[in-house]
Structure 1
């Protein structure tokens, strides 16, 4: 059965979707395990939310590319908070807009190791704790890029198609257990995503010019809503875009 105050583990919690999810779920009374490479940010966020909402929090550095780091973060969270009930495999990135044959090794490895390997490592480390509790929910944070490929995104799109496949496979693999599996797949959302991808603030700003994109709060609300539904209800997949975006590449821009 669902515990009174489930423990939620979030990777990539220092900013963007991860931070917004932490804020939304703390307001609902969920205890939080927050992990990111930027330890100072997750520590400050954990302290803020604990004070504001009276929830228990745990913050630690985690690099999802490294199995030992993920295992240590997960074990530390479970010990500090008494278990884990919800996994949000949020850490992910895009690096560059290269054609496949142009993609440098560093960008290729960053995307594959974070978006695919990091998700597997997070679920692999956390799932035993959900099974032990007898109730759980796993969230994959995908992308419209996992539904519609586009030029300059061959590797990134490939990783997000993989995330979609992993979510669908896990849903089959845990069928019969009281563990829900949801993939939340956002379209254009204004976070640090484009700054990280393009490595240029002006180019990143131009991505959203003339458009009202999704916010991190909007995506967090999707996660919160799925999580708050009755336990027999599973939202397998949620593809969410702003009104101005009709597809991965068709976007209406106002003058």
Structure 2
């Protein structure tokens, strides 16, 4: 079995790669940080005795996505599972004060990059007559919160695309699953606040958020259901979080 994971150098993507590797799956891992990819590949292959292929590219660049996936060997084009994990938030501002560069970064990554990767890999799956696409969404794709406008819009787009691709790929024996987390402590908030680690820490202050491995375990669970079972959509939250903004803090 072969699993293709985007954004695998940190957070949910990294934990997802680890759980599949631990269970004997071969991997194709992608990211923009080549040094991290190479180091992670070595670690996974040494620890779990599996095969790992790395692809270093920016999913926002359609030509780079196409070129990277086209470069795969015939064996590595037999992708069983695609985990669309790469995504980000940039900024937390009202619509009237929003940064155009933040908006473009989120739209280019969360929607366009997501689509570029899905198109390329789904066509390989269609040739193989089977596959499973697992998309990492967000509570932000289910509801909108103050100052989350464009980020929430991109995740609502992913939520709609989950449904659309499930319909389009039904005849090709390709499953589509959405895994939508609430608050997960990763580099997410550091990226959102342009590297401001002090501000990022405050997001999770006084509460116990989800961990990347919690989401990875969920991804692995949906991927290992029997062939006749598809988990369409999961919303997974920390116990102390009820909605995007209703959180109990100590």
TM-score by length of 1: 0.95
- The residue number in structure 1 matching 2:172 is 177
Q: Are 1:232 and 2:228 matched, yes or no? A: yes
Give unmatched runs, 5+ long, in structure 2: none
Q: In structure 1, what is the Cα distance between the partners aligned to 2:65 and 2:81? A: 15
Q: Which one of the candidate residues 152, 161, 167 is aligned to 2:156?
A: 161
SS in 2 for 1:180: strand
What residue in structure 2 maps to residue 113 of structure 1? 108
Range 127-136 or range 104-113, more displaced: 127-136
Spell out structure 1 runs of 4+ moving beyond 6 A. none
Aligned to 1:215: 211
1:83 to 68, 78, 81: 78
Does structure 1 retain, via aligned residues, the 8 Å contact 2:93–2:147? yes
Structure 1 Cα separation of the partners of residues 47 and 128 of structure 2 = 27
Q: Does 1:28 align with 2:28?
A: no
How many Å apart are 1:83 and its aligned residue? 2.1
Q: Which runs of 5+ in 1 are unaligned?
A: 1-5
Question: Quick check: 1:64–1:122 contact (8 Å CA) kept in 2?
Answer: yes
Shift in Å at residue 197 of structure 1? 0.4
Aligned Cα root-mean-square deviation (Å)? 1.1
1:117-153 deviation per Cα after TM superposition (whole angstroms, max 9, x unaligned): 0110010111111112222100111000011100110
Alignment partners' CA distance in 1, 2:53 and 2:116: 19
Asked if 2 retains the 8 angstrom alpha-carbon contact of 1:35 and 1:73, the reply is: no
Deviations 1:159-211 (CA, angstroms, capped at 9, x unpaired): 00000000010001111322110011000000000011013111111111111
Partner residue in 2 for 1:245: 241
Question: How far 1:82 moved relative to its partner?
Answer: 4.9
Residue 98 of structure 2 is matched in structure 1 by 103
Query: How do residues 182-201 of structure 1 correspond to structure 2 at under 5 angstroms?
Result: 182-199=177-194, 200-201=196-197
Give a deviation string over 1:44-95, Cα, whole Å, max 9, x none. 1112111211211101211111011111222233546352121111110000
Is the contact made by 1:33 and 1:77 (CA closer than 8 Å) also made in structure 2? Answer: no
User: In 2, Cα distance between the equivalents of 1:164 and 1:78?
Assistant: 32
What TM-score, normalized to structure 2? 0.97
Partners of 2:77 and 2:124 within 8 A in 1: no
Instruction: State the alpha-carbon separation in 1 of the partners of residues 129 and 22 from structure 2.
Output: 24
Alignment partner, residue 38 of structure 1: 33
CA contact (8 A) 1:9 1:86 kept: yes
Greater shift, 100-109 or 227-236, is seen at 100-109
